[in-house]
Structure 1
């Protein structure tokens, strides 16, 4: 698995989890403050698209995960 795929999976997981924890209709609702984490993930993805800076990419590269073919995320 490549860095790009792992980052997409992580972002999707964190968005879905934070929505489930922050939405009142969810069976696992905790607090609407979890929606701030959803916004943080979205903001990080947005800025990464413009700047190319992606903190998880740096961490995964240091852990030895191989890079992909330069997909849409985190070059």
Structure 2
């Protein structure tokens, strides 16, 4: 079973690739979403809190130990 850390990296990477694709094909405004993802990752490094981790825990994923 996938852990929270693995799922978080998978989701963040996927969302970044999707937003870059949308920026190239539809509108450069999608880069704001890419920036939001980056800022969320940066703030979670300092605060030790990430909304996606909270959600993944509710879905039953386990932490690495």
Q: Decide which structure has greater helix share.
A: 2
Where does residue 39 of structure 2 map in the other structure? 43
* Deviation readout 1:20-45 (Å, 9 max, x if unpaired): 1102xxxxx01111100000000000
Moved over 2 A (4+): none
Give the CA RMSD over aligned residues: 0.8
How many matched pairs? 64
Whichever of the two has the greater Rg, that structure is 1
* Equivalence map 1:55-74=2 (5 Å): 55-69=51-65
Name the structure, 1 or 2, with higher relative contact order (CA <8 Å, separation 6+).
2
Give unmatched runs, 5+ long, in structure 2. Answer: none
Give unmatched runs, 5+ long, in structure 1. Answer: 24-28, 70-75
Distance 2:62 2:15 in 1: 22
